[in-house]
Amino acid sequence: MATFPSEEWTTAVMENLNSDEDYARIARNWEDDLKYIVEPSGSLPAQVILYFDLWHGKCRKTLYLADTNIEQSASFVLKASYDIFKRILEGELNPMQALLTRKVLVEGNLGLLIRSVPIVLNFVRCCREVTNQFI
């Protein structure tokens, strides 16, 4: 279990994704990486970036970037306030609803994300399973 957002949290998510048989089966054809830009709000004083390299049901690499001057490109960039990501992780806000209502802004192929609902929901489930605290 880990605190969101933190380097320990991204590592815990990677370990959970890589050991989760349901995620591996559902995301077996996924070949894109994700970058989450978490904007300051609530108890988060500064922007952080979370990066996940997802490939065929596994997570090959994660990054936690508190230095936002470091560039990390990704197929999908999802941007929202800390409070929105927290609500998603707490189960108060459906991740697909957040995408469709633009509470989470997307750079990349939104149509692919919409067609990949099971993958998105399983990714979020794996994130929720390792989250026990928020900063």
Determine the number of helices (DSSP H) and then strands (DSSP E) in the chain. 6, 7
In this prediction the pTM is 0.93
Q: What is the pLDDT along the chain (135 residues), one digit of tens a residue?
A: 999 999 999 999 999 999 999 999 999 999 999 999 999 999 999 999 999 999 999 999 999 998 767 677 899 999 999 999 999 999 999 999 999 899 999 999 988 888 899 999 999 999 999 999 999
Give all domains of the chain, ordered by start, each with its CATH number: 2-130 (3.30.1050.10)
Instruction: Tell me the Ramachandran region of residue 22: left when phi exceeds 0, alpha when psi lies from -120 to 50, beta otherwise.
Output: alpha
